[in-house]
């Protein structure tokens, strides 16, 4: 059986998988950084980049998350849902045969 190239043959899988992973880990980083950086400090370029990268995902999760959980926990909740979305995406792509296999089989 002819296998596609490990990188180029599965490029849609790699792009979405990497993108979801990047945003999920950035949400965890944003949550941890919030302990050290005041929230209203606009001059900090690192904080602004975390907010820019994760803002859309946190806004989407905040829309469906009860307000009783509080704003402090939204980055962690968002990371949780992004990791589940990433897992679901993997299984969807694997069932369609669009994920690379590490072992060559029997």
pLDDT tens string 41-76: 667 888 889 999 999 999 999 999 998 888 899 999
Mean per-residue pLDDT, 90-94: 94
Question: CB-based contacts of 52: which residues, under 8 Å, 6+ apart?
Answer: none
82: which 2 tokens? 């992004």
Residue with tokens 């190239």: 5
Q: Which residue has the higher pLDDT, 36 or 5?
A: 36
Mean pLDDT of the chain: 87
> Alpha-carbon distance 2 to 12, whole Å?
19
54 neighbors 31 (Cβ within 8 angstroms): no
Q: Give me the pLDDT at residue 32, please.
A: 93
pLDDT (0 to 100) of residue 104: 61
- 3-state class of 2 per DSSP? coil
For residue 17, pLDDT over 70 is answered with yes
Q: What is the pTM of this model?
A: 0.84
């Amino acid at each position: 059986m002819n296998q596609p190239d490990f990188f180029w043959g599965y490029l849609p899988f790699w792009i979405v998988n990497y993108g979801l992973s990047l945003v999920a880990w950035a949400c965890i980083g944003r949550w941890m950084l919030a302990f050290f950086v005041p929230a209203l400090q606009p001059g900090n370029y690192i904080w602004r980049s975390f907010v820019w990268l994760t803002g859309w995902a946190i806004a989407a999760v905040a829309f469906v998350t009860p307000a009783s959980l509080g704003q402090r926990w939204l980055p962690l909740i968002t990371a949780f849902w992004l990791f589940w979305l990433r897992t679901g995406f993997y299984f969807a792509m694997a069932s369609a045969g669009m994920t690379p296999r590490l072992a060559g089989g029997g």
